[in-house]
Structure 1
């Protein structure tokens, strides 16, 4: 099994149920784990034989720009777009953390995590 990780991607965005969350915004931290075969790239040293993490990063940033009430909705869109662009990925796990949720008490953040396995296309 081969994996690609994007870790602690920090993006400022405007998500939330409360109206002020859509105006003020906050930082979000994204962590993605992608399963795919990297052995051809390990041999070839050629970008065309792998999945560019720059392309994954671009998807994360593009989807985070679209305001949503729920982080689950954002994560679902991101996973769907990654899979659509890279159908060779067999599994995606995405964690999104809102760093300053509008809740009582001090905390590092509030997170959701979605995972999805994909059957190989035959």
Structure 2
């Protein structure tokens, strides 16, 4: 089997998480400056077998698209063009940032460490991936 790579897209930074090859465990991979994201994904997929990109879909409480969705849709067009052999699925990502922050508190991270937005993005991507794996 190949890995599933989850993407918590942001206009500045993007959190990434990945499964193991058996698609059992979701782990944070890294946070990438968004301008460098496509290059990072091209490099990563040239070294690791990835069968699916899982991209968070931010929604409002009333189920309408979040204002950041327009940026994500632009990114998806580029991703599909640059890495066409890997399919893309979307997953509702409501509350993942809040859950990531709570996870940091629950794990005992100091306040200074919890202010690391890159870590929040990476944990959010991991939560997106975990929710997908649970739903399978």
| TM-score between both structures, scaled by the size of structure 2 | 0.26
| TM-score between both structures, scaled by the size of structure 1 | 0.29
Q: Which has the larger radius of gyration?
A: 1
Q: Which has the higher contact order (CA 8 A, sep 6+)?
A: 2
